[in-house]
Amino acid sequence: MTGTLTIAGLGPGSDALVTPEVTAALAAATDILGYAPYVTRVPPRAGLKLHSSDNREELQRASEALRLASEGGKVVVVSSGDPGVFAMASAVFEALEQAPQWQNISIRVLPGITAMLAAAARVGAPLGHDFCAINLSDNLKPWAVIEKRLRLAAEADFSIAMYNPRSASRPEGFGRALALLKDAGCGERLVIFARAISAADERIETVTLNEARPEMADMRTLVIVGNSQTRRVGRWVYAPRQVR
């Protein structure tokens, strides 16, 4: 008997941001797989197996999820935010490509509120005009690619959402990214540091790029660099719709 594999986004942290279809998938699951802090968000119950794993083990986790589904499980792989944005969905399809015997498993991807949308909503509308999203981790791509994309994004005058800006194992990159954007003439742009959005320890700070320091970010921070027209009104930050 073949089971099903659902790749579900839990949103940024609050239950009020989990979609009903994700809630229903979790309620019907036999197995939940994911990075430990995300699996912890699923309440335990009889008949449900929770499989936590480490952050770096995405491909292994994806293969394990496919294997459990092939044996008849109702398997849900959970990601924070949206599973399709720098999260588990790509890893599952990579694993699927390597394992033709599993290609008839029924798979669904359920979207979620990704960190940049939750962060943007908290401060106003900094993604109200054209923007890009860049993963600042160089675990799976050369740092030179990140620098090239940042430079082109600045030239395009995109607002820039930066995921995974800084971690204990990658303390240097984010400072280099800020320096690059300053060199590209973005010093006066507004930068939003949004940490642990919608969780109890949420913290948000908005400064200019010239005032930004690398220590303002960690792995739980989503950074949004505004475009050249991003502005404040009262406590809010937004990108105007119009470009002249």
Nearer to its own copies, 36 or 156 (CB): 156
Q: How far is the CB of 152 from its own copies (least distance, A)?
A: 4
Q: How far is the CB of 219 from its own copies (least distance, A)?
A: 17
Nearer to its own copies, 78 or 133 (CB): 133
Q: Which amino acid is at 155?
A: E
Q: How far is the CB of 195 from its own copies (least distance, A)?
A: 17
The CB density around residue 48, as the number of other CB atoms within 10 Å, is 17
Q: How far is the CB of 54 from its own copies (least distance, A)?
A: 16
User: Which residues 6+ apart lie within 8 Å of 216 measured at CB?
Assistant: 193, 205, 207
User: Which residues 6+ apart lie within 8 Å of 235 measured at CB?
Assistant: none
Q: Is the dihedral of CA 208, 213, 216, 217 positive or negative?
A: positive
Nearer to its own copies, 49 or 226 (CB): 226
The angle at the Cα of 143, spanning 212 to 59, to the nearest 5 degrees, equals: 110
Nearer to its own copies, 23 or 52 (CB): 23
